[in-house]
C-alpha cells in the first residue's frame, strides 16, 4: 500500500513537472509564434497598401498629366518655359512640383520647378515613386498651326473629304498613354511631371501606425510570456519545495519517533555490553571480550545514527550568538586530525552571528563527507562577500556524478555501504534554517566543491 502511494505521488510530481515545463517554454514559444504571425500579417498589409498606393498614385498622375496635355495643346508653343510655369502655378494645389518637355534623346528642352527623381528617362505610361514624390510621363501633342483657307469645293481632309472611320477602329491618343520614344508621332514630345500626391503621406502614416501598433503588441506579448514563464518557474520551485518539505516533515516525524524509541534500549544495550567487556579481562575470555567490544561498537554506531536523525528532524528556532570563525571551526573539527584539513580564514569576517552548535554540525558533516571521498587533505575556506558569509569545502575525490547535484542532498541518499545518507541533508537543513543555501558541484581542478552561503551572517 505504501509502495502504491509512492508511485501515485511520483506520477503526480511527474505531471506537475511536465505542466511546469510546458508553462515555462510553451508560453514563450506561443508568444513568439504569435509575434511572427503578427509580423507576417503587418508585412503583407504593408505590401498590399504599397501596391494600392502605387495604383492610386499612377491614377492621380495620369489625371494630372492628361489635364496638362490638354492645356498645353491649346498653346501655340507648348514647349516654352513660360507655358510650363503657368501650368505649374495652376496645378500646385494638386501636388504638381515639376514639369518638363523631353526630346527624343532624353534631354529637357523646357522645364519648370525642381526635379528630385533621377534615373533613366521614362517611357510614356511609366511611373516612378521615390519618397513623397511620383514621376509620370506621357506624350505631348504637337502645337496647332494656323490652317490654310479652303478653296471652293474643297473638303476638310483633302479632296476626298474626311477619312472614314473603320468599324472597331480606335482613335489615336497623344496623351499619357502612347508609343515609346522611338515610335512617337512626328512633332510629338515627352511630357514629364513630378507630383506629391497627398495620398502618399496619408498611406505612409497609416503604414507607420500599423508598424508601431504591431511592434507594441509584439512587445507586450513577449513581455507577458516572459513574465508568465518566470511566474511559472517560481511557482514550480515553490511547489517542489513545498512537496519536499512535506516529505521531510513526514520523514522527520517518523525518524523522531524511531530515534526516541531506540535511544533508551540502545543506552541499556551499550551499558551492559561495556560492563561485559570489563568483566571479560582474562586471556581465556579474549574471544568473548572481542565479541562484546563489537557489540559496544555497533551500539555506538546506532547511537550516532539516532543522534543524526534527531539533528535532521530538529526544527526549533535557531539560537544566534556572536562567535568568531575560529571558534566555529575548532568546534566542528574537534574529532578530526588537524593535518587532514587545511583551513583558510584570511578573508573571513571578524565575527559571525549564527547558531554555533548547528553551524558546527553542518561544517563537520561537510568535512566528514569530503574526507570519505579522498585520502588527500580537505580545503576549508571561510570568506565574506558583502553581508554574506561563504563557506566552501573542497575535496580531491572523484567528484559528483553528473545529474545528481540535487539528489545528494536528499535524506538517506548515499553511495557508501556504511553511510546513512543524512550528513549532507542535515547540513543543507541547517543552512536553510540560517536563511542560507548549500550547493554542490564539481571543481574545475578535480574533486567536489560544496558552498554554504549564510545571508547576513557577517558581523563587523
User: pLDDT tens per residue, the chain (460 residues)?
Assistant: 333 334 444 444 455 455 455 555 566 777 777 777 777 777 777 777 777 777 777 788 888 888 888 887 776 666 788 888 888 888 888 888 888 888 877 788 888 888 888 777 777 777 788 877 888 888 876 655 544 444 444 444 443 334 444 344 434 333 333 444 444 455 567 888 888 877 767 777 777 787 788 788 878 877 877 887 788 778 877 787 777 767 666 666 666 666 667 777 878 888 888 888 788 776 567 778 888 888 888 887 777 777 766 666 666 678 889 999 999 999 998 888 778 899 999 999 999 989 888 899 899 989 988 998 888 999 999 999 888 899 999 999 988 888 888 888 887 776 665 556 778 888 898 898 888 999 999 999 889 999 999 986 665 5
Pseudo-torsion of CA 177, 181, 183, 186, nearest 10°?
90
* Rounded Cα gap, residues 300 and 279, in angstroms: 19
CB 237 within 8 A of CB 16: no
- In which order are the strands placed within the sheet that holds 437-442? 341-344, 378-385, 388-394, 448-454, 437-442
Q: How far is the C-alpha of 66 from the C-alpha of 141, rounded, in Å? A: 11
Q: How far is 110 from 100, CA to CA, in rounded Å? A: 6
pLDDT at 179: 42
- Determine the pLDDT at residue 171: 40
State the Cα angle at 198 between 197 and 202, rounded to 5°: 130
CATH class name, domain 316-459: alpha beta
Number of DSSP helices (H) and strands (E) in the chain, helices first? 8, 13
pTM to 2 decimal places? 0.45
Structure confidence at residue 327 (pLDDT) = 93
Query: 10 Å Cβ neighbour count for 173?
Result: 13
Show the cell assigned to 179: 508609343
Q: 356 with 327: CB under 8 angstroms?
A: yes
C-alpha dihedral, 29 to 236 to 405 to 253, nearest 10°: -170
3-state SS, residue 300: helix
The pLDDT assigned to 287 comes to 79
Between CA 271 and CA 35 the distance in angstroms is: 76
Instruction: Provide the residue ranges of all domains of the chain, joining segments of one domain with +.
Output: 316-459
pLDDT of residue 12: 46
| β strands within 355-459, DSSP E | 378-385, 388-394, 437-442, 448-454, 458-459
The 3-state DSSP composition of the chain as helix, strand, coil percent (nearest 5) reads 55, 15, 30
For 304, 446, 450, the CA distances from 299, given in Å and listed in that order, are 9, 37, 31
Angle at 19 between CA 17 and CA 22, to 5 degrees: 110
Amino acid at each position: 500500500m505504501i509502495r502504491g502511494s509512492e508511485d501515485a505521488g511520483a506520477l503526480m510530481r511527474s505531471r506537475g513537472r511536465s505542466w511546469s515545463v510546458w508553462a515555462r517554454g510553451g508560453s514563450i514559444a506561443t508568444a513568439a509564434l504569435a509575434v511572427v504571425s503578427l509580423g507576417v500579417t503587418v508585412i503583407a498589409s504593408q505590401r498590399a497598401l504599397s501596391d494600392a498606393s502605387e495604383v492610386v498614385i499612377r491614377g492621380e498622375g495620369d489625371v494630372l498629366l492628361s489635364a496638362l496635355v490638354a492645356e498645353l495643346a491649346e498653346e501655340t508653343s507648348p514647349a516654352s518655359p513660360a507655358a510650363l510655369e503657368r501650368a505649374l502655378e495652376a496645378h500646385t494645389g494638386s501636388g504638381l512640383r515639376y514639369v518638363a518637355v523631353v526630346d527624343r534623346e532624353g534631354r529637357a528642352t523646357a522645364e519648370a520647378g525642381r526635379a528630385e527623381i533621377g534615373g533613366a528617362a521614362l517611357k510614356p505610361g511609366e511611373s516612378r515613386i521615390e519618397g513623397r514624390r511620383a514621376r509620370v510621363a506621357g506624350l505631348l501633342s504637337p502645337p496647332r498651326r494656323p490652317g490654310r483657307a479652303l478653296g471652293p469645293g474643297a473638303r476638310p481632309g483633302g479632296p476626298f473629304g474626311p477619312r472614314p472611320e473603320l468599324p472597331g477602329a480606335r482613335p489615336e491618343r497623344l496623351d499619357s498613354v502612347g508609343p515609346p520614344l522611338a515610335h512617337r508621332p512626328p512633332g510629338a514630345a515627352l511630357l514629364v511631371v513630378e507630383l506629391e500626391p497627398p495620398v502618399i503621406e496619408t498611406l505612409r502614416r497609416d503604414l507607420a501606425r500599423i508598424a508601431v501598433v504591431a511592434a507594441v503588441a509584439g512587445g507586450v506579448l513577449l513581455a507577458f510570456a516572459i513574465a508568465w514563464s518566470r511566474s511559472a518557474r517560481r511557482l514550480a520551485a515553490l511547489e517542489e519545495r513545498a512537496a519536499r518539505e512535506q516529505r521531510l516533515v513526514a520523514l522527520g516525524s517518523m525518524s523522531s519517533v524511531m530515534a526516541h524509541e531506540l535511544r533508551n534500549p540502545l543506552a541499556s544495550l551499550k551499558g551492559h555490553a561495556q560492563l561485559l567487556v570489563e568483566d571479560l579481562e582474562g586471556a581465556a575470555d579474549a574471544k568473548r571480550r572481542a565479541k562484546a567490544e563489537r557489540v559496544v561498537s555497533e551500539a555506538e554506531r546506532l547511537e550516532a545514527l539516532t543522534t543524526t536523525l534527531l539533528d535532521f528532524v530538529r526544527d526549533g528556532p535557531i539560537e544566534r550568538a556572536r562567535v568568531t570563525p575560529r571558534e566555529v571551526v575548532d568546534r566542528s573539527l574537534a574529532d578530526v586530525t588537524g593535518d587532514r584539513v587545511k583551513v583558510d580564514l584570511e578573508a573571513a569576517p571578524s565575527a559571525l552571528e549564527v547558531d554555533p552548535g548547528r553551524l558546527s554540525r553542518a561544517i563537520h558533516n561537510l568535512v566528514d563527507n569530503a574526507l570519505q571521498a579522498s585520502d588527500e587533505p580537505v580545503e576549508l575556506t571561510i570568506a565574506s562577500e558583502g553581508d554574506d558569509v561563504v563557506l566552501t569545502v573542497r575535496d580531491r575525490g572523484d567528484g559528483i556524478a553528473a545529474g545528481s547535484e540535487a539528489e545528494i542532498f536528499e535524506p538517506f541518499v548515499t553511495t557508501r555501504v556504511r553511510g546513512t545518507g543524512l550528513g549532507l541533508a542535515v547540513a543543507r537543513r541547517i543552512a536553510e534554517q540560517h536563511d542560507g543555501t548549500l550547493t554542490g558541484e564539481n571543481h574545475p581542478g578535480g574533486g567536489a566543491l560544496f558552498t554554504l552561503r549564510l545571508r547576513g551572517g557577517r558581523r563587523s
